[in-house]
């Protein structure tokens, strides 16, 4: 009977450990898939550049497009892909496609410097023409307003010509910004940004040339209908003082006993 209990206990523990092992393996599994995607894309881009150098431009384009369609592709890998695509379209003298590819290259890597041993001088000409056009523009911000004293939140900024490294600003102050695409940025706002009810200007800064700043969009911090802690404390102090004063003034005086008559003289 004792041996049966031991075997049963071990079996029970194993049934608990198996799903736990699978759960712990999930992050490793997805990390492995992500790493395989990057490695596979990196190899495809190496092969794509070889095909480009060999004059096999269509084959190079196919490899690049396969890489760009992979999920979870990093901004760095996208920049590498668009660089080779730019070189291919320049070699093919396809001006419009070359412009688009170079614009995408600069979106992912706005500070790109040509490699004289690998890049033709014509790539620099395209870069010089396109960089001044990458002026950020804001169409919509969401939310457009927030209550005073609210908690922090994430603002989405939709527009055009955003680049990797673009920063959302409130009245010229940088906010932590995540680049999603050339049309979408996410910016984190803290509760400290919402202390004063006022109208603020939201802009986007692009780190190209000497810097490019977008058109402003209005963001309003709406005066809260509820009191802040400081206001509640001040109000409580005033009320307590008034109550204490009223109690003191309304308190009846104690009855005064008449003074005893002085003893009569004999």
Write out the two tokens for 201: 């200007």
pLDDT of residue 9: 57
- The CATH architecture that domain 137-222 belongs to is Sandwich (2.60)
pLDDT of residue 242: 73
Q: Is the model's pLDDT at 13 over the cut of 60?
A: no
Q: pTM for the whole thing?
A: 0.70
Mean pLDDT value across residues 73-95: 96
Q: Are 170 and 138 in contact (CB under 8 A)?
A: no
Q: Is the model's pLDDT at 16 over the cut of 70?
A: no
User: How confident is the model over 89-125, as pLDDT tens digits?
Assistant: 999 999 999 999 999 999 999 999 999 999 999 999 9
pLDDT of residue 104: 98
- Can you list the alpha helix ranges (DSSP code H) found in 175-258? 229-250
Our measurement of the distance from residue 245's CA atom to the centroid of its chain's CA atoms, rounded to an integer in Å, reads 54
Q: Which of 98, 61, 100 is nearest to 81 (CA)?
A: 61
pLDDT of residue 108: 97
Q: Which of 125, 127, 113, 217 is nearest to 168 (CA)?
A: 217
Are 2-133 and 137-222 the same fold in CATH?
no
Band (2; pLDDT cuts 50, 70, 90): low
User: How confident is the model over 143-200, as pLDDT tens digits?
Assistant: 999 999 999 999 999 999 999 999 999 999 999 999 999 999 999 999 999 999 999 9
Q: Are 73 and 37 in contact (CB under 8 A)?
A: yes
pLDDT of residue 157: 98
Q: Are 174 and 167 in contact (CB under 8 A)?
A: yes
pLDDT of residue 6: 47
Q: Are 81 and 61 in contact (CB under 8 A)?
A: no
Residues 6+ apart with CB under 8 A from 193: 152, 170, 175, 221
Class of domain 2-133: mainly alpha
Q: Is the model's pLDDT at 202 over the cut of 50?
A: yes
User: How confident is the model over 29-68, as pLDDT tens digits?
Assistant: 444 444 455 578 999 999 999 999 999 999 999 999 999 9
Our measurement of the distance from residue 73's CA atom to the centroid of its chain's CA atoms, rounded to an integer in Å, reads 18
What is the spatial distance between Cα 104 and Cα 180, in angstroms, rounded to a whole number? 13
pLDDT of residue 15: 56
Placement of tokens 């058109």 in the chain: 215
Placement of tokens 């995607």 in the chain: 37
Q: Where are the domains of the chain?
A: 2-133, 137-222
Measured in Å, how far apart are the chain's first and last C-alpha atoms? 115
pLDDT of residue 255: 58
pLDDT of residue 39: 76
Mean pLDDT value across residues 62-91: 95
What is the spatial distance between Cα 83 and Cα 125, in angstroms, rounded to a whole number? 14
Per-residue buried b or exposed e for 76-88, using 16+ beta carbons within 10 Å of the residue's own CB: ebbbbbbbbbbbb
Our measurement of the distance from residue 182's CA atom to the centroid of its chain's CA atoms, rounded to an integer in Å, reads 14
Placement of tokens 């309003």 in the chain: 220
């Amino acid at each position: 009977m004792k041996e049966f209990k031991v075997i049963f206990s071990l079996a029970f523990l194993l049934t608990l450990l198996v799903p736990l092992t699978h759960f712990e393996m999930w992050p490793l599994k997805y990390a492995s898939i992500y790493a395989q995607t990057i490695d596979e894309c990196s190899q495809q881009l190496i092969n794509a550049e070889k095909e480009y150098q060999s004059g096999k431009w269509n084959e190079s384009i196919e490899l690049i497009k396969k890489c760009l369609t992979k999920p979870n592709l990093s901004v760095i890998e996208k920049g590498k892909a668009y660089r080779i695509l730019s070189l291919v379209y320049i070699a093919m003298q396809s001006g419009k496609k070359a412009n688009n590819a170079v614009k995408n290259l600069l979106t992912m890597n706005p500070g790109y410097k040509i490699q004289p041993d690998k890049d033709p001088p014509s790539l620099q000409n395209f870069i010089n023409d396109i960089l001044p056009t990458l002026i950020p523009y804001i169409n919509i911000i969401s939310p457009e307003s927030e209550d005073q004293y609210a908690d922090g939140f994430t603002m989405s900024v939709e527009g055009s010509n955003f680049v990797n490294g673009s920063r959302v600003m409130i009245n010229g102050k940088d906010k932590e910004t995540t680049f999603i695409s050339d049309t979408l940025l996410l910016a984190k706002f803290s509760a400290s940004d919402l202390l004063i009810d006022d109208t603020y200007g939201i802009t986007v800064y692009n780190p190209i040339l000497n810097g490019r700043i977008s058109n402003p969009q209005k963001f309003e911090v709406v005066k809260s209908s509820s009191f802040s802690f400081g206001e509640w404390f001040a109000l409580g102090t005033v009320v307590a003082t008034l109550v204490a004063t009223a109690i003191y003034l309304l308190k009846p005086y104690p009855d005064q006993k008449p003074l005893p008559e002085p003893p009569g003289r004999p």
